Amino acid sequence: MPLPVLTIAQMREWERVSWAEGRAPADVIRAVGGCIAATCRRVTQPGDRVLVLAGQGHNGDDARAAVAQLPDREISLFDVRQPEQDLTRLREELARRPALVVDGLFGIGLSRPLDADWVAFIRTLNESRLRVLAVDLPSGLDADTGKPQGEAVKAWLTLTVGAPKQGLLQEAAAAWVGRLEVATDVGLVRCPVSTELLWTEADDLKGYPPARASQTHKGTYGHLALVAGSLGYHGAAVLAARAAQRAHPGLITLHTLDAVYYPIAAQLQAVMVHVLPPEIKLSGKWSAYVLGPGLAAVPNNDTFTALIRSLWRQSLQPVIVDASALDWLALNAVPSNGLRVITPHPGEAARLLRTSAANIQANRVEAVRRLSRQFGNAWVVLKGHHTLIGRSTGEIYVNPTGNPHLAQGGSGDALTGFIGGLAAQPDLQPDLLTVLRYAVWQHGLAADRLQASRPNWTVEELVSELGLS
């Protein structure tokens, strides 16, 4: 099940209910220690040196509980009590360049700004530029606001306990949190708190898409109409089409401009490529539309605008709009049973809402709500760090996969194409939310696999990785 994104007060209530139902804090600490140890083993090698910084509270207890579970690592356990007196030892430990530092100094209980001694201690750790695994949250960070309380540890990886804390997802926290993962199996009772912001777990998508029946044919799995590509941007159309193929719709037809027909058609085999007629109308039985990748240099915006708006207003099939086509949408009502998706990055979202990208990033959840309301209760995939999927009401899902190396031209076109390839399949259309969550998850997971194996990967390789697990 997806995990609720919690405030400090909600996390405390979860703990209170767990203790009231007989769960022992010592057992939970031991389980958290096991999760920390498992993460340490995953990101280090046998024999590596690991420095464990343990504070006086339960966060320190969690870190200490990991030590006995790391017999094949060289562990230096540092119980930090007086930061001014302990600073010299910290410098000595950091000078030995451990492969990993475990930050167990402060947890969510820190409710005041750090004093000067603690600020100096944490800054010394940050200046070392070593890889830091933060336990629950980077020490010094406010778990509700995501802002440092004077100073905060800059983590390479944060392993939060039970469920994500809302502050860890704030734009202000990104520089401190690093990659965010969740230790879920820690012995607490089922979370008694429900929230509208939910964190997607791998098990949520297990077995998706469902297995296909034996007696089917390409007509069973839909026909995607892709409108993409213009002079200088034909690569976006190719990437979107190839990504759509990875989703295995029955058929794909790419409609493009005469000026780029030959370079696009020459790179595609199974995808049919048609030149858009002068009046730019689509004739055929399509099960979904993808509009927008690589249309930045179309010669007649008015004609394209008319096509996009007509499909958006009238089609009973899913319509997915991205990139330049987002600017051509109108604020029209759509059929009550129409499936609509927009996939803006923060800059595009800012243009649509007539605000700044900084304002979008400051409250991404509200941006999703506003965009959806503005465009007929469309589903919104707000791309970026921790991509959000949702609409004007109901749950909004946070995607945990992906890494900063997705920030390269073409990755968004690949995501849009992959979404379209899934959304074109009639059997998947009744649950478009799961289509979107799965597509975004797989897109990020493909980038994570590539980054782990070869850091110089390209978007073309990203497309080849889509849907492999």
Q: Give CA–CA dist 402/450, Å, rounded.
A: 10
pLDDT band at 86 (very low <50, low <70, confident <90, very high): very high
Determine the structural domain holding residue 30 and report its residue range: 3-192
The predicted model gives 78-103 an average pLDDT of 97
Q: Return the pLDDT at 281.
A: 78
- Which among 102, 128, 106 is positioned nearest to 50, based on CA atoms? 102
Both 277 and 378 in a single domain? yes
Q: Give CA–CA dist 269/303, Å, rounded.
A: 29
Both 164 and 279 in a single domain? no
Both 328 and 283 in a single domain? yes
Residues paired with residue 251 on neighbouring β-strands, in sequence order: 223
Segment 444-456, tens digit of pLDDT: 999 999 999 998 9
Give a yes or no: residue 207 inside a domain. no
Mark which of 126, 157, 192 sits at the end of a domain.
192
Both 108 and 239 in a single domain? no
Mark which of 192, 226, 242 sits at the end of a domain.
192
DSSP H helices in 70-115: 83-95
Say whether 225 sits in a helix, a strand or coil.
strand
Phi, psi for residue 146 in degrees, rounded to 5: 80, 10
The distance from CA 409 to its chain's CA centroid, rounded to whole angstroms, is 17
Q: Return the pLDDT at 468.
A: 85
402: left (phi over 0), alpha (psi -120 to 50) or beta: left
Q: Give CA–CA dist 384/433, Å, rounded.
A: 18
Instruction: Quote the pTM value.
Output: 0.95
CA atoms within 13 A on the CB side of 394: 13
Both 243 and 307 in a single domain? yes
Q: What is the CATH number of the domain that holds 127?
A: 3.40.50.10260
Q: Return the pLDDT at 282.
A: 85
Checking DSSP bridges between strand 396-398 and strand 197-199, what pairing results, if any?
Answer: parallel
Both 187 and 222 in a single domain? no
- Which among 288, 290, 286, 222 is positioned nearest to 256, based on CA atoms? 290
Checking DSSP bridges between strand 3-4 and strand 49-54, what pairing results, if any?
Answer: unpaired
The predicted model gives 294-299 an average pLDDT of 91
Q: Is the pLDDT of residue 284 over 90?
A: no
Q: Return the pLDDT at 230.
A: 95
- Which among 249, 179, 251, 216 is positioned nearest to 401, based on CA atoms? 179
Q: Is the pLDDT of residue 68 over 80?
A: yes
Both 244 and 122 in a single domain? no
Q: Return the pLDDT at 389.
A: 98
Segment 376-389, tens digit of pLDDT: 999 999 999 999 99
The predicted model gives 410-427 an average pLDDT of 98
Q: Is the pLDDT of residue 335 over 90?
A: no
Q: What is the CATH number of the domain that holds 336?
A: 3.40.1190.20
Mark which of 145, 177, 192 sits at the end of a domain.
192
Where is 357: in which H helix or E strand? helix 357-362
Cis peptide leading into residue 209 (ω within 30°): yes
